[in-house]
Structure 1
Amino acid sequence: MDFKELETFVSIVEKGSISAAAAALGVSQPAVSKRVARIEAEMGASMFANGHKHSTLTSEGAVLYKAALKMLDTRKKARIQIAEISQELYGTVRISASSIPGDFILPEVLVEFMEKHPGVSVQVTQGDSQSALEDLSDKKADLAVIGSDRNLPGFTSLPFYHDELVLIVNRNHPLAARKYIPMEEIGGLKLVGRTSGSGSRQTWERVYKSRTGNFKEPELQFGHTMGVVNAVANGAEAGIVSRFAAQTSPAVAVLTFKPAVYRAFHLVYGLCETKAVEVLISFLIQKAEQQQLSQPQ
C-alpha cells in the first residue's frame, strides 16, 4: 500500500463516490477502483459497506480512514521539515487566479519571486473567482487569488491587492467626454459585464443594488474581463470592468463612478504542504504590504 492509494481512499470517503474522487485527483475511475481493490486485497477486508461507489465505511474501513489521515498528515509535516533543514527552495506551486490578478498583478510579482528562487516553478491557471476556489478546495491548487472575499471553511483569506470598478464606453459614445458618472445615471445603458461566477460581477451587483435599489444584469456577459473590453471597443455601448483592464485599450473611454467603487482581491490558502508554497505566500503578503495596498487611497 502506497501514499497514492491512501490518498485515493481518503478522497472517496470525503468526496462521496469514486467518480467524484477520480475528478478531484485527475485520474480515471478504473484507476481509482484498482487502487481500492489493492487496498482491500492487502488488508483482507472490504472498506465500503455498499460497494466502492459509496462512501459508507465498514468497521475495517473506518479504522483505515483514521490511520490514513494520520499517515498523510505525517508525510506533509516531514516534507516541510526536510525542506527547512536543507534550506533549498524547490518544487512546484499551483496558483488558481481570477482574471484580473492573473493578467495584471501576478505576472510582475511572480517574475520577481522566481528571480530570487530559481528552483521553484509556478503554474498559474485562470478562471473566475468561483472556479479558483473550487480548484483550491479540490486540491488542484495550492493557493488562490480571487476578486472577492468568500468564506471557504478551513482556509485563510487575506486582503491582497485593491482594485476599482469603472464604466467604459466606446470613444464615439456621448459619455466619452465625461470623467465621472453617478451610478444612478447608467440605468438606461446596455451593459456588457462578467458572468455570475466572477468577483467583479458580485461587487457590481451588490453596489448597484445598494445605491439604486434595483438590479441590473448585463445584456452581454463574458467569462473573461478582456472580452468585455473588446466588446465595448468594437461598438457595444458600455461595460463594467476593473480599472486595470480598462486602461489596456485606447478604443474605450474610462469613467469613474461617483462615489468610486473599490474592491479587494484576496489571497486564499490552506495548509502549506511544501516550503515553496509557504515562502511564496509570505512573499505575496509582503509585496502587498510594501505597495501599501491594505486600503484604497
Structure 2
Amino acid sequence: MVHSGSNRLASFARRVPLEIKAAVWDCDGDRAPGPDGFNFTFIRHFWSILEKDFVEVLKQFHLTAVEDVLQWSWSREPDSGQEVTELTSCLNLMYRCKLGLNTDVWLWEADSSKRFSVKSARRLIGGHSDTSDRLGFVWNKWIPLKVNIFGWSLFLNRLPSKDALAARNIHIDSQLCPFCDEVTETLDHLFSACRFANEVWAGVSSWLKIPPIFAFGYKDILLFHCSLRTSKRGSKLIQAILLISCWMLWKARNKLIFEKSNSSANGVIGEIKPVGFLWIKHRAKSLGINEMNWSRFDLL
C-alpha cells in the first residue's frame, strides 16, 4: 500500500506504544523475538529502557521509504504477542535487504559473471568431488548412453530386482534368483554372489588379463577399475567393459524370466566381446582397436 505518511505516522504515535506494550506482555516470557536470545521476560524487566527503541523500530517498518518514491505500511498494527514476534522475525530477515524498483534477477554466485552455466556447475561439483554414493559413479563416454543410465541406476540400487519389487508390494511368482534358484534375488547376489555371475567375471577377468574379480557387492564390480594399477585410459577401458558385462548379465536375466530362454556364462561372455568391440571401437578411435588386439586384449 502507498501512503503520504504524515496522517498514518500521527495515528501511529498516539496509539501504538500502549498496544506494543500490551502485545509484549501477552507473549510467553521464555520466547525470544530475535536471534540475540533476549526473551520477553528480559524485555519486560527493562521495558522503561527498551520501549522507545521498540516503538521506533516498528514505526520505521510501518512507514519505510524505498528510494524516496514509495512508502509502505500495514493496514493495521500488530495487536498480539504472536504478531509482534512474527513482525520482529520479519524485520531481522529484511534487515540487510535492499529494496528497489528494478526487476528482480537471479545471480549465480559460483561464477564471476553471476550467470549460470553448466560449465560453472560442473566446476563447482568437481571442486567438491568425493567417493560417496552421491558422486561415486563416473559416466563413461565410450559406451552408449543407455548403458551409462543402467550403470547409474545399478549404482543407486534402483534396478527392479525381485526383492525391490516385493518391497513395493508388487506380486511376483518367486523371489528366488533366476540363475541359481537358491536365494532371494538382490542386486548384490545377482551381480556378485551368484555362481552364474562368478563364472562370467572369471571369464571376463581372464580375457582382460587382470586379477580375478572378487566382489562382495555390485558396487565392488562398478568400482573395480579404480583399484587397478594401469593408466587413466586403461582404467576407463576396463570400466566400459565391466559396465557392458553388467548390462549383458541383466539382459540374460530378463530373457530367462520373460522369455524362458536359458543362457550360459560362456554365452554371455561371447556376447560381451563383440558388442563391446562395436560400441567402444567407434567411440574411442584413439585406442586403435582392431579385431586382433581386441580378441587378445593387447590394449593396456
- TM-score category of the 2 structures, normalised to the smaller one: under 0.3
Q: Which has the higher strand share?
A: 1
Q: Which has the higher helix share?
A: 2
Larger radius of gyration: 2
The structure with higher relative contact order (CA 8 Å, sep 6+) is 1
TM-score, normalization by structure 1 = 0.23
TM-score, normalization by structure 2 = 0.23
